[in-house]
Structure 1
Amino acid sequence: MANARGVPGTDKVAYMDNVAAVAGDYKRQLLDLLNLEPGLSVLDLGCGPGADIPAMAEAVTTSGRVVGVDIEPRMVEVASARFRGRPEVEVLLSDGHALPFEDATFDRARTDRALQHVADPAAVLAELLRVLKPGGLLRVGEPDWDATVVDGDLETNRAFNRFICADIVRNATIGRRLPRLARAAGFEVESVHTTAPVFRDFTEADKVFLFSRNTERAIRAGFLERPEGERWLAELRAGDFLATPLVFLLAARKPS
């Protein structure tokens, strides 16, 4: 569910860690779909500060290998420090559009909330197909920001979503497009699931959705009038809060 555009430096690491902490249910689903076993090699594309790597490393054990890649040097620096002394874990600086691996390197590949930010999701999926072994599994988790539900004024919720889709997230509706893009890249699509984590505490939700920051941005960008935006935000902070994002989970396989 991460939407960290504009979050600076160290704050972005904390933001990514916090999203990982509050998104446990869908992350466990994504991990289960990987069907990890000792000795397998796993690629984690867009690994961020490495919050999801420990569970994968534990599953493949020291006989396996987990490689995290991220395009941001700060993320790679933090993740590398966290796994120093763990020979089964490697973290590399890399662009998902041109991965530094030979063909058919990995048994498994996952990417969680990374395709929403890349320049060309189809090209990244093609790279993932290339580096997977025949029969290798791909697992993807991506939100659909146009489907974010916030209890309160409906039209303001819709305007907020339009702003996120237009100005904040590059590929804001990537979730619903995953099966089509995966098939076009050459994958066999095994299943598509959805999950919708429910947030009932505004303070916790604000750390993930950045309601306070992004409502102000939406006002400045002209998607919301200031009175309605400020009223909506005040009601969210004071009311019986509920918000939920829609997240798509894709299970696909490289043909044998």
Structure 2
Amino acid sequence: MAKDEPSDEEERELWDRLLTTTTEEEFRKFVIDQLALRPDESVLSVGCGPGFETAALAQHITEEGSITGIDLNEEVLAAAKDRCGDFSQVSFKQGDITDLPVADGRYDLAIAKQVFSQISDVESALNELYRVIKRDGRMAVTAGDRRTHVKHTPTDRMQRADDIYRSEMTDRQRGTRLVGLLPETGFSVEKVIPRAKIQTEINAQIERGIEIQRRFLQASDTFDDAEIETWEQELRELDEADQFLSCGTAFLYLVRKPE
């Protein structure tokens, strides 16, 4: 294992911290509330992580239905199995969204929440989701658009640091590009619902963002180590003064596979 690479246990603990912030819990509830779930539906949860979403779905889907969680990471899948051990309608498989290990036309509903920001082959992923959904089946997809991300940056240094961060993030417009990509795959877009994700403190998610942004700044030609330290201190001083504010928009697409 590389020096800076987290252990399996550290990775598991990290995801637990990231997915139990108030913002993520509220967003998870928001998505499920829009689905009008039936208790006998077959549901595919792609990128299920350590099972928080799967457990929340299991509150709505009875043993007459089923839930399959899929994730690439073995360690977070182990956590998901532990978390959902009391739900007999839940099962898990290791797999990739571009090559799903499930049969054609298997599911009434597929959910891919914040998965598309992590992949490069969007076309293959959408084709796979189309394949595994039944005719007249539904899908819920969420993704953000980096252009909607705003922060309180009262100093020139903080503004420049955010400019570098935005320039380094790949496919910043994916949340809005899906409005064209989904119909190209064959889906009918029924509704697009925006949702602001607001952070007013430095929690586990923001700490993760600071870590990523720090790496971008270290690789840049415009920030030296001293300025990076000052930039981070400015962020933490805002947090201590209750003036930290970060907000981005996620787009929830509710789509259907034609009969």
TM-score range, shorter chain: 0.7 to 0.9
- Give the equivalent residue in structure 2 for 1:140: 141
Amino acid across the alignment from 2:13: A
- Give the equivalent residue in structure 2 for 1:253: 256
- Give the equivalent residue in structure 2 for 1:242: 245
- Give the equivalent residue in structure 1 for 2:38: 37
CA distance in 1, matches of 2:6, 2:206: 11
Contact residue 156 and residue 228 of structure 1 kept, 8 A: no
Q: Give RMSD over aligned pairs.
A: 2.0
> Which string of whole-angstrom CA distances, capped at 9 and with x for unpartnered residues, describes residues 16-55 of structure 1?
2233222122222211222211111100001111111112
Instruction: Report 1:152-231 matches (<5 A).
Output: 152=153, 153-163=158-168, 165-166=169-170, 171-202=171-202, 204=203, 206-208=204-206, 210-222=208-220, 224-226=222-224, 227-231=226-230
Structure 1 range deviating more: 11-20 or 134-143: 11-20
CA distance in 1, matches of 2:143, 2:58: 22
Contact residue 45 and residue 96 of structure 1 kept, 8 A: yes
Query: Runs ≥4 in structure 1, deviation > 6 angstroms?
Result: none
Q: How many residues in Structure 1 have an aligned counterpart in Structure 2?
A: 244
CA distance in 2, matches of 1:24, 1:100: 28
1:224 CA drift (Å): 4.6
Amino acid across the alignment from 2:87: R
Contact residue 161 and residue 217 of structure 2 kept, 8 A: no
CA distance in 2, matches of 1:10, 1:30: 28
> Which string of whole-angstrom CA distances, capped at 9 and with x for unpartnered residues, describes residues 199-247 of structure 1?
1112x1x534524322321222116513443332211100211111221
- How does the TM-score come out when normalised to structure 2? 0.86
Corresponding residue SS for 1:61: coil
> Which string of whole-angstrom CA distances, capped at 9 and with x for unpartnered residues, describes residues 45-100 of structure 1?
01111111112111112221010001122122221232235320001011211222
CA distance in 2, matches of 1:176, 1:158: 20
Amino acid across the alignment from 1:15: L
Structure 1 pair 231–94 and aligned structure 2 pair: CA distance change class (3 A): same
Structure 1 pair 76–123 and aligned structure 2 pair: CA distance change class (3 A): same
CA distance in 2, matches of 1:29, 1:145: 20
CA distance in 1, matches of 2:103, 2:205: 38
CA distance in 1, matches of 2:118, 2:222: 24
Structure 1 range deviating more: 18-27 or 37-46: 18-27
5+ long unaligned stretches in structure 2: none
- Give the equivalent residue in structure 2 for 1:110: 111
CA distance in 1, matches of 2:62, 2:222: 51
Corresponding residue SS for 2:189: strand
Corresponding residue SS for 2:148: strand
Structure 1 range deviating more: 130-139 or 69-78: 69-78
- How does the TM-score come out when normalised to structure 1? 0.87
1:146 CA drift (Å): 4.4
CA distance in 2, matches of 1:141, 1:19: 17
CA distance in 2, matches of 1:139, 1:149: 25
